[in-house]
Structure 1
Amino acid sequence: MKQFLLVVLAIACGAVLIMGNLYWQERTAITKTESKPDTQASSKEKPAKEKGKKKAEETELTANWPKTAKAVYKKKVKNGDPFNIVILGSPALGASEGGWAPQLKESLLSAYDDTIEVTIHEWDTTSVEFVNGTNVDTVLEETPDLVLWEPFTLVDNSNGVGPLQNHDSILIFNRELYEVNDKATLILQPPHPIEDATYYPANVDELKTFAKEEDIPYLDHWSEWPEDDTLSEYLIEDQDTPNAKGYTLWNDYLVDYFIAD
């Protein structure tokens, strides 16, 4: 009888041990299954937060831009489309010689990465020849979102094109720009200052006044240039373009505007 009871007790103990082991394995499997989604969610949330932070930083860089340009840029970033910037003007841009335009392009691409595209168009022409020729079509075919234009003011002055003709050319271009992209922004700026000029400074003053009257953003980088004899240190000998020092001064002004701290 005792042997029988011992056998039954041994069988019962074994059954308890087996059932306990099976229960523990089941609970462990459930715990692992429940914790797995949390790990996946964490791995997904981190990149999303980092992406959102990057977009916020890119938007803050445009703090100085005109309202329409900022809104279009923000929308394009959201949609994954590049914001198209065109830098346009005379040989004062220094497009082929390390001037301010290629320097600014490099800075913009570095700051905004692939959220923008930057194209430089430089022509030695008057404003009238520009709007009446094929070069204007080359610019408009790109459907720019923002055009930074030095409207050939110094070239016009040297070739007998007066301020009124210059301003009419700007209005024609702005109207045609609106026709290809009604959300585009035109920003004007003067060429570089020169020494011992008589009519040219007055032409630039009229350009500034015209821009204000037409509600066209105007970047007055002349405030950064010397007003004394040291101006010659920033220009090449014939004063047609700035030199390396002048290009750096001009570029620094534009970088501060287009890439806010």
Structure 2
Amino acid sequence: MEKAMAALSVILCITIIITGNLYWTHKYKSDDSKVSATAGDAANNNEENSSKKETENLTYTKNLPEVVANKIEKAIEEKKPLKFVIYGSSAVEEKDGSWSKVFKEALLDTYGEDVFDIHIIAEDGDRDSLDVSSDKSNLKVAELKPDLVLFEPFVLKNNGNVSTKSAEDVAQMVITSIEKANKDAIVMVQPSYPIYDTTYYPQHMESMRKSIESNGHYYLDHWENWPEIEDPKLKQYVEKGNNEPSSLGNEAWSSYLINEFISK
């Protein structure tokens, strides 16, 4: 009788061990499946969100010249950021409230950090076209081998001390140096800020625009977003002394560029 009971106990223990092993094996497999499913869902969600972001980004370029839009779209598709340089006189300096800082932040906020690698390079103080030409300070832009450049060509800083022809020659020198560094670079030109009741400055700027466009480059005319030269309201858009745009001027300048680069 004792032998029978001992045998029965052994069988019962073996049964419990086997049953427990089967239970835990099944549980682990079930938990693993849930973890895998959760990880898979997360990966799918990330892919969907990334794809949605790329699709949104592709819609923002509608207002830009086709060749610029295509370059941005290619960067989005290839996930390779464009090196974008904003270059010009001290009027392009990046500081709190400046149009360049607002514009840069809008691009990064809208497109994300993976589409543009933005560099802002401003010449110091009152340096004009001849200063840049004499010491070749523009080469710091070319050294970056940028893909895209927004260039403000010092016409306001020239202040009548540089002939229209010389200013245009220097502007072309700057553009040529960039294109030599990167043959696929696209250079767009913009004016500096307008000044109330001036005569020669807008004439020189119009001549620069014609020169730029005749050489096959793009001109982004943010003056369209400011009051007319003859309008006294324009005085509110520039600080006293005409040294820099006011908050209204920075808003007019940045909002024009934001609308060009971020069509909604």
TM-score of the superposed pair, with normalisation by structure 2: 0.78
Matched, 1:183 2:159: no
SS state at 1:51 partner: helix
1:171 Cα offset (Å)? 1.5
User: 1: CA distance between counterparts of 2:171 and 2:147?
Assistant: 17
Structure 1 range deviating more: 62-71 or 237-246: 62-71
1:100 Cα offset (Å)? 0.7
Corresponding position of 1:258 = 261
Structure 1 range deviating more: 200-209 or 58-67: 58-67
Relative distance call for 1:101 and 1:38 in structure 2 (3 A) is: closer
SS state at 2:112 partner: helix
Matched, 1:234 2:237: yes
Corresponding position of 2:122 = 122
Paired amino acid for 2:217:
I
1:83 Cα offset (Å)? 1.1
Corresponding position of 2:90 = 91
User: 2: CA distance between counterparts of 1:154 and 1:148?
Assistant: 16
Q: CA RMSD in A?
A: 2.6
Paired amino acid for 2:179:
Y
Matched, 1:133 2:132: no
Paired amino acid for 2:132:
F
Paired amino acid for 2:107:
L
User: 2: CA distance between counterparts of 1:134 and 1:96?
Assistant: 25
Matched, 1:64 2:63: yes
Overall identity of the aligned pairs, in %? 30
TM-score of the superposed pair, with normalisation by structure 1: 0.79
Which of 136, 152, 155 is 2:154 aligned to?
152
Corresponding position of 1:54 = 53
User: 2: CA distance between counterparts of 1:48 and 1:195?
Assistant: 52
1:73 Cα offset (Å)? 2.5
* Counterpart contact for 1:127–1:153, Cα < 8 Å: yes
Paired amino acid for 2:225:
E
SS state at 2:87 partner: strand
Flag as ranges the 4+ runs of structure 1 deviating above 6 A.
35-41
User: 2: CA distance between counterparts of 1:249 and 1:113?
Assistant: 23
Paired amino acid for 1:72:
K
Corresponding position of 1:200 = 201
User: 2: CA distance between counterparts of 1:41 and 1:129?
Assistant: 60
Number of residue equivalences:
233
Relative distance call for 1:235 and 1:39 in structure 2 (3 A) is: closer
Once the two structures are superposed, residues 220-255 of structure 1 have per-residue CA deviations (whole angstroms, 9 ceiling, x without a partner) of: 111221121111111111112211111111111111
Structure 1 range deviating more: 95-104 or 138-147: 95-104
Once the two structures are superposed, residues 156-213 of structure 1 have per-residue CA deviations (whole angstroms, 9 ceiling, x without a partner) of: 1x15112211111121122111111111111111111112322111101112222221
Paired amino acid for 2:187:
L
Paired amino acid for 2:106:
S
Once the two structures are superposed, residues 102-158 of structure 1 have per-residue CA deviations (whole angstroms, 9 ceiling, x without a partner) of: 1111111111211211111111321232244242121112111111111101011x1
